[in-house]
Chains A and B, each alone.
Chain A
Amino acid sequence: MNKIFLSWRMGIILPVVMTMIGCAAVDTVTTVATTVGEATGAISREQGESIRKSTTAVSKSLEDFTPEQEYYIGRTVGAVVLGKYRPLADAKANDYLNKMGQTLARVSDMPELFDGYHFLVLDSDDINAFATPGGHIFITRGLIRCCRTEDALAAVLAHEIGHVQLRHGMKAIEKARMTEALSVLAQEGGKSFGGREVAQLTQAFGGVISDITGTMINNGYSRSYEYQADAASVSILRRSGYNPGALTDMLKVMAGQIKPGGSDFARTHPSPRDRIDELKESGQSSAGSEPPAVRNERFTKAIGHLL
């Protein structure tokens, strides 16, 4: 083997390896490309091993959590939310919310979750809403009061569905925690866990829950996540036949009701005015037709007593 020949092969193989790293099937591609490199002698076996290991580590990410695991994370995140906000045991309102919410979720980019989407009214005057990675969605009476029509309420539910489909809750998990949890998961592969692993996982689980609830309840998502969820809401409204301008309508009412410096939305969300501006700038505030009377009648019938 002469040196020039070796560098020629390195020149071809390494860029290919690097380009392929950007692809979806990272593991497979890198393994094959690395094996090619080894077979032709362009890289040593040790180098090959090291490329394989680091790629495996990088690809351990959100995708490694199954919908089943997101569901169990969601249940506990939801239970923590319900420790802070009382549920409203109002069968009529909750039934209406679930019919509307599940109809909206059906046309989202993520219509299927491990156990589907579920909606619940919270008995609080705060203006607030939460969505867990498992599809448990909560909305306060205070936020329902910002909705003058079924279309406006649909905009609120669709915004929360947007957080689920964009996996914002899962993205709130800190990097170190993610690595910790996934390294426990990777230990045993297809075998089942023993008591020690369950204890380790339970500890990681507790950490994941506090990362997510800390962001969701106390600090709020980033402005860009909120704008993304607004964009998702408009697209869901449009697909389902609701007025896509209803989100802007709701935000205008909210702007008049929100208390600056309050403990709710004001602290964890960009101001309604900023969200309206963002929707306008991205061309998503265009109003559709007025909702039919029957739609507003059923809205008043189902939740008029909460307004």
Chain B
Amino acid sequence: MFRYLSIIVCLALSGVLFLNAPAEAQRVMSVQVKEGQLRATPSHLGKIVVRVSYGDRVTVLEERGDWKKVSLWGRKNQGWIHNTALTNKRIALKAGQGNVGTSVSRDEIALAGKGFSEEVEAEYRKSNKNIDYTWIDRMEAMKVSPEQMEKFIVVGRLALRAEGGKP
């Protein structure tokens, strides 16, 4: 009896440890940025293979430092994307999408547009009419293309191959 129970406990605890183990081969993640890019090489200057958007599901194929090589769910396109653009949570773009409330637990779901969102900003603006967002919109429209960035680095003799991420 004693031995039998300790085996149960040990098996259960090793189950706990396996749950903690990193990524199995077919790990699926979601894009958590508005617009993301899958690139040919693990670098922000890598050629863009395909653009991905918020909520897109990707399958992780390979990891290198802070970069993951992924394929778009159900499609052939593959490319590299930085860790910080991905989340383990499933992002449902509308309520009721993505098996919400069935097989997936609440904490694994992030509903896009839920919480502090465009809708909440609009409500907030109704009662704070003195706050002006004109220049917030203008500064957000100031984009820098990968070509412009590469030129800025090369002309300024900066480090071209540098990448971010925790050492």
Interface residues of A in 108-128 (CB under 8 A from B): 108-116, 118-120
Q: How far is the CA of A179 from the CA of B8 in the complex (A)?
A: 38
> Total A-B residue pairs with C-beta atoms closer than 8 Å?
216
Q: Does B44 reach chain A (CB closer than 8 Å)?
A: yes
Question: Using Cβ atoms and an 8 Å threshold, which residues of chain B touch A13?
Answer: 9
* A-side contacts of B123, CB under 8 Å: 198-199, 202
Question: Could you tell me the distance in whole angstroms from the C-beta of B16 to the nearest C-beta in chain A?
Answer: 5
Q: Measured between alpha carbons, how far is A202 from B144 in the docked complex, in Å?
A: 33
Other-chain contact of B33, A83, A106, A114 (Cβ < 8 Å): A114
Q: A107-B163, A241-B158 are in contact. Are A79 and B133 (CB under 8 A)?
A: yes
Q: How many residues of B contact A (CB 8 A)?
A: 73
Main SS class of interface, B: mixed
B115 and A66: CB pair below 8 A?
A: yes
Q: How far is A73 from B117 in the complex, measured between Cα atoms in Å?
A: 8
A66 to B115, CA, bound (A): 9
Query: Is B50 interfacial (CB 8 A cutoff)?
Result: no
Does B61 sit within 8 A of A, measured CB to CB? no
User: Which residues of chain A (32-79) have a CB below 8 Å from chain B?
Assistant: 32-33, 36, 39-40, 56, 65-69, 71-73, 75-76, 78-79
Whether the Cβ atoms of A112 and B82 lie closer than 8 Å is yes
CB atoms of A80 and B159 under 8 A apart = no
List chain A residues, Cβ under 8 A from B155.
294, 298
Contact of A94 among B111, B130, B136, B142 (CB under 8 A): B142
Interface of A is mostly: helix
Determine whether the beta carbon of A240 is less than 8 Å from that of B34: no
> Is A98's beta carbon under 8 Å from chain B?
yes
Residue positions of A touching B, CB distance < 8 A: 5, 9, 12-13, 16, 20, 23-25, 27-29, 32-33, 36, 39-40, 56, 65-69, 71-73, 75-76, 78-80, 82-83, 87, 94-95, 98-100, 102-103, 105-116, 118-120, 136, 150, 181, 185-186, 188-193, 198-199, 201-202, 205-206, 208-209, 239-242, 292, 294-295, 298
Could you list some 6 contacts between A and B, CB below 8 A? A68-B32, A103-B144, A189-B109, A190-B106, A192-B114, A240-B159
**B residues bordering A, Cβ < 8 Å?**
2, 5, 8-9, 12-13, 15-16, 19-20, 32-34, 36, 44, 54, 82, 84-85, 87, 89, 91-92, 94-96, 100-101, 104, 106-107, 109-121, 123-124, 127-128, 130-133, 135-136, 138-140, 142, 144, 148-149, 152-153, 155-159, 162-166
